A and B are shown apart, each in its own frame.
Chain A
Amino acid sequence: MLTVSELSVSYGAVRALANVSLTVPPGEVTAVIGANGAGKSTLMRTLAGLVRPAAGSATLDGQPITGRKAEDIVRMGLALVPEGRSTIPDLTVEENLRLGGLWRNRSDRAASQAEVFDLFPILGQRRHLRADTLSGGERQQLAIGRALMAKPRCLLLDEPSLGLAPLIVTQILELVSGLARNSGLAVLLVEQNAVTALRVATTGIVLNLGEIVQTGPAADIASDEQLRHAYLGY
């Protein structure tokens, strides 16, 4: 379980997050939705240790993660798939995956790799190809696979839908939510594309200008017309 309390982040004079509190329980997907510039990526990058918060804290299963280095946080069990294609194009599919769990021993890594290939069979077929030969959807699968190689208890996905066809996004997100249900993974999904995100999520959180304006069951948020008009622009 990931617990975030009263997290605030500023970039110089710009306040990107203000007193954000939320929980991400295991076994389900929690979706944070919000318009451009709402602070979604800032939230993810802060939790992963890439950005220092001005105030507040976050814990993973009771252990504090704020203030730690990104490379230590992932070893503690929180893995981020950042916005954009976070694969390394010059490395092969297998090397990208190996990278994701480099500090783990060989047999643990092999077990995780087998799980990733079960989840995303196309990666198994392309394992010896360079990542830059993959399609956008395959690269997103590889990015998620790389994060899963750390055997995280909590997985953060920052806008996996970016630049992908809706059908492919739905397929990938269905796989991830299935993984969460089956293995007890806690997933925090951040999306501008609210419809898709709320479909796979259990809980929805609406973020606007760095503040949480609504938290509730995903289905309720999806059907709240006022909320949609006010913050999500559709």
Chain B
Amino acid sequence: MTTFIDYLLGGVSSGAIIALMALAIVLIWRSTRVVNFAQVGQAMFTTYVALTVRDATGNWIIALLAAIAAGAVLGLVVHWLVIRPVKRVDTSGAIIATFGVLISLQALAGMLWGGDTRGYAPPVSNDGIQLAGRIWPFSWYDVLVIGVTIALVIGLTLLFTRTNIGLAMRASAFNPEVARLSGVRVSRSLAYGWILAGMVGAIAGVLVAPTSQVSPNSFDILLVFAFTAAVIGGLDSLVGAVTFGIGTGLVISLVSGYSDSSNAPVVALVLLALNLLLKPDGVFGHHHSRAV
């Protein structure tokens, strides 16, 4: 029983990071109806930016802020330069284009920073906290990760429910025509979606870096988990992305604990397949037909 609880505890913070990445995927799906497979590539790239800034300043927070800024710019650039022109012609082309962006970013990162795996020291201890006479599988760094995730989810919720930009983004996603008839500049709302997703993804990248290391391909596995969580959550739902992001983290931790960590991606794909068979709209997905 203690082992079971330990495994669960160990999964919470990796689940939080998966949740963030899934959130980024959902933000773009909601606004643009494109699954952005480049999301982890963008996050990898901005994490390299963070690494460079951190080497220069020695400051974790400044590096994080630099990654967020880079994520915003990169999100906008990908949207304007690649997705918008391609999507005007055809949507499935845009999804394929995101793979192109992923591969290009990986190649570019390899050229700029080399292909070697690099470490990313956590700003606070990543060792298990000692409490009540034992060492728990939970570190101060995990506390930080979970804290940042909670703050971000609250911030996004407030953005979407309380601000005009958030309302414009939701309306543009649900019904672009009614949004335009209400005076909303829909193409700008879509761009905000990409910027926001780029920022959220950048945070996820910096947070995951101490556990995954940084190399052009080291975040690929995160894509599998985040995509699984986003799809099971219904792709449209922020709540779904967070819930199943954390859920996926727990499952992975249990699978890795009781068997072998190399089984985790397979289990994720099985969950994804089962979900697509049993509940194609996702658990939190919308079933009503949209107004034309």
The yes or no verdict on A and B being binding partners is yes
Q: Is the CB of A74 within 8 A of B183?
A: yes
Q: Are A99 and B177 in contact (CB under 8 A)?
A: no
Query: Is A234 in contact with chain B by the CB < 8 A criterion?
Result: no
Residue of A nearest to B174 (CB): A88
> With A and B bound together, what is the CA distance between A210 and B185 in angstroms?
31
Closest B residue to A98 by CB, please name it: B167
Q: Is A102 a contact of B183 with CB atoms below 8 Å? A: yes
Expressed in whole angstroms, the minimum distance between the Cβ of B38 and any Cβ of chain A is 27
Residue in A closest to B164 when the chains form the complex, CB atoms: A102
B179 engages A99 (CB within 8 Å): yes
Is B182 in contact with A102, judged by CB distance below 8 angstroms?
yes
Known: A71-B186, A102-B164, A132-B288. A88 touches B181 (CB 8 A): no
A110 at the interface (CB under 8 A from B): no
**CB <8 Å contact, B288 and A50:** no
Contact with B along A26-61 (1 / 0, CB 8 A): 000000000000000000000011100000000000
A88 and B184 form a contact (CB under 8 A): no
With A89-B291, A90-B286 as contacts: A150 and B182 at CB distance below 8 Å: yes
Say which size band chain B's interface belongs to. Answer: 20 to 34
Q: Which of B164, B180, B288, B292 contacts A70 (CB 8 A)?
A: B180
Cross-chain contact A99 with B174 (CB below 8 angstroms): no
Q: Is the CB of B291 within 8 A of A85?
A: yes
* Minimum Cβ distance to chain A for residue B202 (Å): 28
Tell me whether B180 and A91 are in contact (CB under 8 A).
no
Q: Are A71 and B183 in contact (CB under 8 A)?
A: yes
Is B158 positioned at the interface, with any CB of A under 8 Å from its CB? no
For the complex, is A75 an interface residue (Cβ under 8 Å from B)?
Answer: yes
- A50 near B167: Cβ-Cβ < 8 Å: no
B251 to nearest A CB, angstroms?
A: 29
B21 within 8 Å of A (CB atoms): no
Q: List, sorted by A's number, 5 A–B pairs whose CB atoms are closer than 8 Å.
A: A48-B181, A98-B164, A102-B164, A103-B183, A146-B182
Footprint of A on B, CB under 8 Å? Answer: 164, 167-168, 170-171, 174-175, 177-186, 286, 288, 291-292
- What are the nearest 9 A-B pairs in CB distance? A70-B180, A74-B183, A99-B182, A88-B174, A71-B180, A103-B183, A71-B183, A100-B182, A75-B183
- Which A residues contact B (CB, under 8 angstroms)? 48-50, 69-72, 74-75, 79-80, 82, 84-91, 95, 98-103, 132, 146-147, 149-150
Apart from A50-B181, A89-B291, A91-B170: 11 A-B pairs, beta carbons within 8 A: A71-B180, A84-B292, A85-B291, A88-B170, A88-B291, A89-B174, A95-B170, A99-B184, A146-B178, A150-B182, A150-B183
